[in-house]
Amino acid sequence: MDTPHAERLRTELYPEIQPYASGMLPLDELHTMYWEEAGNANGVPVVFLHGGPGAGAVPNHRRFFDPTHYRIVVYDQRGAGRSTPLGELRNNTTPLLIQDLEKLREHRGIERWFVFGGSWGSTLAIAYAEAHPQRCLGLVLRGIFLCRKREIDWFLYGIRNFFPEAWRAFAEFIPEAERGDLLAAYYRRLTDPDPAVHMPAARAWSVYEGSCSTLLPSPETVDYFAADTVALGLARMEAHYFVHHIFLPENALLDNLDRIRHLPAVIVQGRYDVVCPIVTADELARAWPEAEYIVVPDAGHSAWEPGIRAELVKAMERFKRSDFPGR
């Protein structure tokens, strides 16, 4: 008997590919954005939104998408990765990141595109789609983060219930007298102009997040988060956005879901995601029942968890079908 169509969908990452175009797009008098395109220049556009904020994109992010079908757009958000200046907090807000996406879309001559993002990328994807629903073909969201106060407090304090060793290293980097407000204490150090002050703080913050991002220990993940470019962009930007409540009203993303309910969407969530706990994804799915909600039973937060990786690839494979909503 034939296997159902859904079961025949590809689940493995596509082979490594190189961009066919890349560049630096000036955003304002201060920021310049790195962007690249890979795959089929005449294909269906999809834009990849990296996490953090501030983590930057990597070559493997191109591999979630069929390069014969998709026009794959990958970029580094302002202040992150190869965008310049790295770790710059001035002129860095969620509304400006939304504006940057529109500038990139127009610069590349794209009418509509799929929006694919995980963790902070899911936050920005929802915010962008709510601002510009007419520009979206659909959304794929992973490791849902709505950046509300209780989610930020969980990151700063709640994770110790599952990763006490990693949390202890994170908290004890700060002198005991300042530990009542870890965010403020880290923010002071991360915004200090002296690299001897901000870089150790950035590594402590970033390694903490990397250590808690996978279901099973992953030294490779921790090493990636410990690298200077990732650590500085990630830690400084996350603290900046947390301190400023992502520059949006509390619960704004859920409150404005009506703007995007008509768009096809897939939500992929690891059951044991400790960085962005499943309760947030569950809340989003209940508020957006039209979206397809997939819980991966044996995964944490990272997009590279085998089950999450497979579901993300499958989601983009389903979007290829001519009978899929939105096509």
Task: List, by residue number, the catalytic residues.
Answer: 119, 273, 301
Crossing angle of helices 195-211 and 228-243, in 10° steps, is 90
**DSSP letter (8 states) at residue 217:** -
Crossing angle of helices 195-211 and 182-190, in 10° steps, is 130
How far apart (Å, rounded) are the C-alpha atoms in residues 327 and 311?
20
The continuous run of DSSP H or E covering 255 comes out as helix 252-255
Q: Check residue 12 and give left, alpha or beta (phi > 0: left; psi -120 to 50: alpha).
A: beta
What 3-state class would DSSP assign to 46? strand
Task: Measure the CA dihedral 251/253/254/260, to 10°.
Answer: 160
How far apart (Å, rounded) are the C-alpha atoms in residues 197 and 191?
9
Which amino acid is it at 69? H
Q: Check residue 10 and give left, alpha or beta (phi > 0: left; psi -120 to 50: alpha).
A: beta
32: β partners? 26, 84
Task: Confirm if 326 and 264 have CB atoms less than 8 A apart.
Answer: yes
Which amino acid is it at 141? L
Number of H helices, E strands in the chain: 11, 8
